Chains A and B, each alone.
Chain A
Amino acid sequence: MKAPVFDYHRARSVQDALAALADGNGDAKPMAGGCSLGPMLNLRLARPTRVVDLRHAPELRRVEETSDRLIIGALWTHAEIEDGAMPCATNGFLPSVAHGIAYRAVRNRGTIGGSVAHADPAADWISTLLTLDARLLIHAPDGERQASIDTFMLGGYSTELGDDELLTGIVLPKLSSRGRWAYHKICRKTGEFAKAIGAVLHDPERGLTRVVCGAIERTPILLEETSAALGRAGPQAAAAVLRDEIDRRLSDHDAVFRQMHHTAVDRALAELGSK
C-alpha cells in the first residue's frame, strides 16, 4: 500500500496551482490536507502523475467580510474552524460541525475545501453548506465563477469541478442574531463518518429556513415540504410532515435506512425546538 511515483509541485498561489494543473493534462491532482487523497494514492486508486500542493497559496486562506456574507478560503482546516480562527458568521454552526468531524488528528489536516471537493456523501460540510445555502468560489484557467452547492455535487465523489479547476473559497451567509440551527448526526463510533445527518436552519430575518437530510449515499437533499412547514408553523409541524417526505425522497432505500434518517432529522428539529 505505497503510492506509485508522482511529481510534487508546491503551489505558491492560485495562479501557480492552476498553471501546474493545466500543465498536467488532466493527470494532475490538487492536494489540500491529503486526508483523503493520501489514502487514495497509497491504495493506488488515484494515480496522478503530479500532485499540486495547495497549502502554501495564501489566497486559499483568505477571510473576507461584507455586510451579509463571509468568504473563507478553501484551505482552512476543520481544527481552525473549530477553534474560531476566523470570524463566525453562523452563530456557532460551523465550529460545532467542525468539532464533530473525525478526531483532532484528522481535523488538524483536513480542510473544508478538500472535503467539499472530495464530495463524500457522508461528509459533514456538504450537508452543512447545503443547509446554509452557501455558494462556492471556483477558479478555472479562464476565470472565476460561483456555484450553488445544490448543483455543485453531481453525486457521490463527483462534482462539477473540472480537472483544471480549483475550489478556492466558500461564501457563507451571515446569520441574524435570531438565526437558529441544529445538527444531528448518527455515527457508529466517535470519529466515524455519519450514517445519517439531519441539519436544520431557521433564520426568518435572512429568509433561510432549510431542513437537510444527509449521508444518503448520494448528494444530500433539501427537504422542501418539511422546510416549508418549519417556516410556516415551527418544528413540531415540520416533524409531522417529515416521515412522509423522507419515505418518499428515500424510497430507493430500505425501511431501516429511512428510519435512521428520519430519526436524525427529527432529532435535529427537536433540538431546534428546544433552543
Chain B
Amino acid sequence: MSHTGIGARVRRKEDARHLMGRGRFVGDIKMPGLRDVAFLRSTHAHARIRSVTKPAGAEGALYTVDDLAGLSPIVTRSTIPGYKESTHWPLASGKVRFVGEPVAMAVAANRAEAEDLCDAVLVDFDPLPVIASSEAGRAPDAPRIHEEWSDNLFLESGFDSEVEEVARTAPVKVTREYRTARQCMHPMEGKGVLAYWDYQASQLVVVTSTQVPHMIRTGLAECLGLDQARIRVMPPDVGGGFGYKCVLQPEEVLIAWLALTRKTPFRWVEDRREHLTAGANTRQHQYRITAYADERGRLLGLDAEVMVDTGAYSVWPFTACLEPSQIAGNLPGPYDFQAYRCKTYTVATNKPAFTPYRGVARPGVCFAMELTIDAIARAVGREPVDVRAENLVTADQMPFTNVTKKHFDSGDYPASLRRAREMIKMDEVRERQGAAEPDGRRIGLGFATYTEQSAHGTSVFSSWGLSVIPGFDQASVKITPDGGVEVRAGIHTIGQGLETTLAQIASEILTIPIDRITVTLGDTATTPYSTGAYASRGIVMSGGATSKAAQVVAGQVRRIAAHLMKCTPEEVELKDGRIFAGNRSITFADVGFAWYMRPDLLPAGVDSRGLEATEAYKPDVDSGVFSYATHAAVVAVDPKTGMVEILDYVIVEDCGRRVNPMIVEGQAYGGTAQGIGTALFEESPYDDLGQPLASTLLDYLLPGPTELPSIRMDHFETLSPYSAHGIKGVGEGGAIAPPAAIVNAINDALAPLGAELTQIPATPERILAAILAAKGQMEKSRETAA
C-alpha cells in the first residue's frame, strides 16, 4: 500500500470537484425564496449624509441604518495603550468615510433588480474635506475622520532599544524612503454570504465565504445581540481568502440581520467592481529608514519611521493595529543587530478599512529591509549577498531571540542564501552583466531573505492587545464502524489543501490511506472550535490537534484490538492500514464492528470514550515557529521603455517537515505570483478627493500566466523543536520576498545608470522616471563640473 501520511506527495482531495466545476460556492447555491441583495455605496470619500430619499413603493425592499432595528455597530476593542476604537455601522450612519461604503441595502428577486432599486435612491451628500493619504491624515489641521478623536491616529506606537550611540559612531549611514502601494487581494471568489432561518434547529444559518467561521459566529452574535447557540456559521467552498475573509464583513452582518429579521433567505455576492473599490484595503506603507553599519556592511542599528494608510475603520477582530505591530516587530528581518528604533503611525484615512493580507506587513518590511541591505552593500562596495551573509542569524545561534524578542526556533538562514546564490548562478550573471546585451536591456540580480513567523499564538496575539486571541486549536478524529476515519476541525478550507494535509496527518498516525479519511471543516455546528485559517497556522495548529486526537484514537484501537487478538496493547502495531500482533492481523473494520455493533466482544471496563477523540493542541512554545526562505531573481530591464522581464527566479525555502511537498510548492508558487503582482503590477491609486482610480481590471493589473517566470525551487527540512512533527507554516511566505528580490534586481540593473527605485509596484513609468531623473542629475553635475 502506498504511503499517504506525512511527506507523501499525494494529489489534493479537494481538486477533483474544483476541476470539474462541482465546487459549491455561495454563488452556486439555489434555495426557494432566495432574495438577492445589492448595496448602494457612497460615491464620496468623506461626506455628511443630509438625507436619503427612497423611491415610492420600496417599503420592505430598501434599508438604511435607521431601519436596522436591534443591530449594533462593529466596534473592535484592543488593550493596546493609546488605541482608538472606531464605531463602524454596517450601513453608514450620519456620514460616509470612504468611496464604496454601503449607504443603503436593496432586496429584490435578483441582483439586477436590486441594483435598479439602488439607482432609484437619492442621497444628498454634503462633502467634507478628504484625507486621501497618511500625510494628509497627520497634518496638524487635518479634519477628523472620527469627530470624537483628538487626531486621526488609530495608534502611535513602536519599539525603541536606543540607536543614539550607533547613530553617532557608525562609519556608514544609509537613509532611504520607501513606499508600497495600496492593493486589493483579489481572491478568485470575492466575498459572498447567504443567510436563512432554520426553523427546525431554531438557528440563524449563515453560509459565508470566510476563513474564520467560529470567530464570525462570535462577531455576528455581538452585532445581532443573539446567543451564539442560535447561530450556525456554515461556510461552503471558499475560493481563496488571503486575509480578505478573515475579518467580520459589514455585509455579513447585514445579510445575517435580514435573515434573522425576515426569516427568509437572502444573499449578497460581491462583484469585481465592489472588490476593486470598497475592497482596496491593504499593503499601503511609507517608510523612512536610516541604517547604520560598519565598513563591511555589518548592521549596527536601524532607525525607522513608518506610516500605515489604514483607512476609515478598525477591522474585527484584528484591529487597525495588527499591521503596525507586525511592522515594528518584523522589520529587523532575519538579521542580528541590537540597536533598533521604529516609530509607527497608524493613520485613519478616507479609504476602505485596512485588512491583513497574505504575509501581513512582511512584504512591506521585507521590501524596506532588503532594499536597505542592498543600499548598504552599494555604500560599502560589496556584493549584496555577502552583506546579507554578514548579518544573518546563523544556525549555531538557534534558537535565537532577536532585538524585538522574535524567537527564531530553528533553521540555517545563511545556507538558504548560499544555495540560492548557487542555483541562480550568480557568477555567470555577473559575467553576463560585464558585456552589453544585444537588445540593449540591462540585467540585474537581486536577493531577499526573510522569516515567516507562523502559527504564532497566545503570547503574541495578547501582546498585540487583541480581544480575540487564539489559544488551543481543536480537532476530532473518529473511526467509523467500517474502519474509515472522520476528521473534523473548526478551521476552514480556502484553497490551501487542508482537506488533504489533515487527512495525511491522520493517515500518518493510523496508517489508514487518505482515500478512507473524510475531512469536515469549518461548520460551527459540526466541528470543534478553532479561531480559523490565518497567520500560516492551519497545518501547525489543526494539524497538531489532528495528530493528537489520532494518537488518542490509535491507543483505543490498540486496546480493543489487543483484546480481540488476545495479546497486550504493547504487542499491537498499526501498519499499512491494518492492525498487527506479530504476523497475525485484523482490520480497523473489525475493531469498528466490535465497538459499534458487537459490544459483547469488547473487554470488560473498556474506555467508554470509544473510537473517537477531540483533542486540543498548541505548540509547547507558542510564540510561533519560523519558516524562512531566500528568493533570488534575475531581471532584464529595458531602459527605453521601463519594462521588466523576470528571466530567472529561484526559491530556497524551509518550512520544517513538509506534510505534502507538492502543496508546499503550490503555496510557494501561488504566494510568489501574488508577490510578483505586488512588485510589478498591482496598485489601487486614489486621487486627492479619495476617489479610487482603479475600478476595473483594465486599470488594476494582475499578473497572469504569461507574466510569471518558471520558478525553480529547493527545500531544506529543519524541523521545529516546538511543534508536532516539526511542522512549520507555509501559507504566506511566497508573497513576502518577491517585491524585495525583484526590485533589488531592478536596482542592480539600473545602478550603472545611477538610478534607484524605492517604490512599488515598479511600473514602466516609475522606472523610466528614475532613469530620466538620474540622467538629469548626471547632466547637471557635469555642467557644474565644467
User: Which residue numbers of A lie inside 8 Å of B, CB to CB?
Assistant: 1-5, 39, 43-44, 186, 188-193, 195-196, 255-256, 259-260, 263, 266
Inter-chain contact A2/B111, CB cutoff 8 Å:
yes
Contact of A190 among B112, B707, B768, B769 (CB under 8 A): B707
Q: How long is the Cα–Cα vector from A189 to B640 in the complex, in angstroms?
A: 17
B residues in contact with A259, CB < 8 Å: 640-641, 768, 772
Given contacts A4-B116, A256-B769, contact A189 B271 (CB under 8 A): no
Q: Closest B-chain residue to A39, C-beta based? A: B696
Partner of B119, one of A4, A255, A263: A4
B744-786 residues at the A interface, CB under 8 angstroms: 763-765, 768-769, 772
Nearest chain A residue, comparing its CB with the CB of B112: A2
Q: How far is the CA of A44 from the CA of B112 in the complex (A)?
A: 11
Could you show 7 A-B contacts with beta carbons less than 8 Å apart? A4-B115, A4-B116, A188-B764, A189-B707, A192-B701, A256-B772, A263-B640
Interface residues of B in 691-718 (CB under 8 A from A): 696, 698, 701, 703-704, 706-707
Q: Which partner residue on chain A sits nearest B767 by CB separation?
A: A256
Minimum C-beta distance from A201 to chain B (A): 23
B642 at the interface (CB under 8 A from A): yes
Q: How far is the CA of A260 from the CA of B704 in the complex (A)?
A: 23
A189 with B768: CB separation less than 8 A: no
Residues of chain A with a CB closer than 8 A to B144's CB: none
Question: Does more than half of chain B's interface fall in helix, strand or loop, or is it mixed?
Answer: helix
B116 — which chain A residues lie within 8 A by C-beta? 4-5
Q: Closest residue of chain B to A195, judged by CB?
A: B764
Q: Does B575 contact A (CB under 8 A)?
A: no
Whether A256 and B768, one on each chain, are in contact in the complex, defined by CB atoms closer than 8 angstroms, is yes
State the total of A-B contacts with C-beta under 8 angstroms. 62
B263 within 8 A of A: no
Q: In whole Å, how far is B39's beta carbon from the nearest beta carbon of chain A? A: 12
Max chain A CB contacts within 10 Å: which of B112, B641, B763?
B641
Count how many chain B residues have C-beta atoms less than 8 Å from C-beta atoms of the other chain: 28
Q: Please name the residue on chain A nearest to B116 by beta carbon.
A: A4
Residues of B with C-beta under 8 A to A255: 772
Q: How far is the CA of A1 from the CA of B36 in the complex (A)?
A: 13
Q: Which residues of A contact B262 (CB under 8 A)?
A: none
Contact partner, A263, options B111, B641, B769, Cβ 8 Å: B641
Asked if B273 lies at the interface with its beta carbon under 8 angstroms from chain A, I say yes
Question: What residues on A are CB-neighbors of B764 within 8 Å?
Answer: 186, 188, 195, 260
Interface residue? B681 (CB, 8 A): yes
Q: How far is the CA of A44 from the CA of B116 in the complex (A)?
A: 10
Q: Does B563 contact A (CB under 8 A)?
A: no
| A195 contacts across to B, CB distance below 8 A | 764
Please judge, given known A-B contacts A1-B271, A193-B698, A263-B640, whether A44 and B119 are in contact too, CB under 8 Å: yes
Q: Which of A3, A39, A188, A260 has the most CB of B within 10 A?
A: A188
Is the C-beta of B272 less than 8 angstroms from some C-beta in chain A?
yes
Known: A189-B701, A256-B769. 19 other contacts (CB 8 A): A1-B272, A1-B273, A1-B274, A3-B112, A4-B112, A5-B112, A5-B116, A43-B273, A43-B696, A189-B704, A189-B706, A191-B706, A192-B701, A193-B698, A256-B772, A259-B640, A259-B641, A260-B764, A263-B640
- Across the interface, which residues of B come within 8 angstroms of A44, CB to CB? 115, 119
Across-interface contacts of A256 in B (CB, < 8 A): 642, 765, 768-769, 772
Chain B residue at smallest Cβ distance from A188: B701
Contact status B704-A191, CB under 8 Å: yes
Neighbouring B residues of A196 by C-beta, 8 Å: 641
Chain A residues whose CB sits within 8 angstroms of the CB of B273 once the complex forms: 1, 43
Say if the beta carbon of B172 comes within 8 Å of chain A: no
Q: Is B643 an interface residue (CB 8 A)?
A: yes
* Bound CA–CA A190/B763 (angstroms): 15
Q: Rank and list the top 9 A-B pairs by shortest CB-CB distance, nearest first.
A: A2-B112, A190-B706, A1-B271, A263-B640, A256-B768, A189-B707, A2-B111, A1-B273, A256-B765
